[in-house]
Amino acid sequence: MADTVIRTAVLDDVPALLAFWARAAEGTSISDDPAGVAALITRDPQALLVAEDDGALAGTVIAGFDGWRCHLYRLAVDPDRRRRGIGAALLAAAEARFEALGGRRADAMVLDHNELGRTAWRAAGYRPEEQWSRWVKPLG
């Protein structure tokens, strides 16, 4: 962790982010394409946090705040760099962003079958709320 830097993503990062998520993240969504990621960075330049370890992309988290609720997406750490505190550093940065913006509770999107992810979120103090289900509708 000594050489890990947390920073916000920039538009030039989009291709590397998409390649990283294909390798390190569980699944994809409809907005996981160059236009979708560029729109996120353009709309909220502070939301997509990137961890670099010795200059290489090592992790990501999206810390989205809509003015009311705090949402976490795409927490991913390079499989070869896991268990080194990178995920914890990303979450700490995301939570600090939320607190600075006045956020009071963060929620995370975690796939039900992603046991590694569920274990990591539990270790970070997050708990599932079984009474909620995600409802989606693709637009356009």
Residue 75 · residue 120 · CB < 8 Å: yes
Per-residue pLDDT tens over the stretch 37-56: 999 999 999 999 999 998 89
DSSP code of residue 70: E
pTM exceeds 0.85, yes or no: yes
Cα gap 79→83, rounded to integer Å: 9
Per-residue pLDDT tens over the stretch 75-99: 999 999 999 999 999 999 999 999 9
DSSP helix/strand/coil, 37: helix
Query: Which amino acid does the sequence have at 80?
Result: D
Cα gap 70→102, rounded to integer Å: 10
Cα gap 104→115, rounded to integer Å: 27
Question: What domains can be seen in the chain, in order of their start residue?
Answer: 4-123 (3.40.630.30)
